[in-house]
Amino acid sequence: MNKKGSFEKLLAELRELTDTNQHTEALLQIAKHFRLRKLVKAFEAIETLHVEFGSLDFGLYEARQRLSTYMFSFIKDHHGEKVRKQIYDCL
C-alpha cells in the first residue's frame, strides 16, 4: 500500500475508533503511523492504566491531552497543517 493509501486507511480507522469511544487507541494509532516511539509507549501506558483503574481519571486525561497536543504540534511542524487537520477532524 502506498503512503496515500496508508494515510486514508489511518483516517478511516480513526473515525471508527472514535465512534466507539476509543480515543486513547486512536491517538496510539496516530503515534504508530508517524513512528513516534516515545508517544506510542506513553499512550500504551495510559491505556494500560485506564483499563487497570476502570476509568480514565482526570490525571490520565490531562496527561493524554498534553501528549496529544504535543503530537499534533509535531505533525503540523513536520507534515503540514492540512495533514494535522485531516487527522484531527477524524477524532
- Domain positions in the chain are 3-88
What's the predicted TM-score (pTM) here? 0.93
Q: What is the pLDDT of residues 19-75, one digit of tens each?
A: 999 999 999 999 999 999 999 999 999 999 999 999 999 999 999 999 999 999 999
Residue with the bigger pLDDT between 82 and 1: it is 82
Burial class (CB in 10 A: 0-12, 13-18, 19+), 91: middle
pLDDT for the residue numbered 2: 59
The Cα–Cα gap between 41 and 49 comes to: 12
The Cα–Cα gap between 3 and 20 comes to: 26
pLDDT for the residue numbered 77: 98
pLDDT for the residue numbered 31: 98
pLDDT for the residue numbered 5: 85
pLDDT for the residue numbered 54: 94
Q: Is residue 1 predicted with pLDDT exceeding 80?
A: no
pLDDT for the residue numbered 4: 74
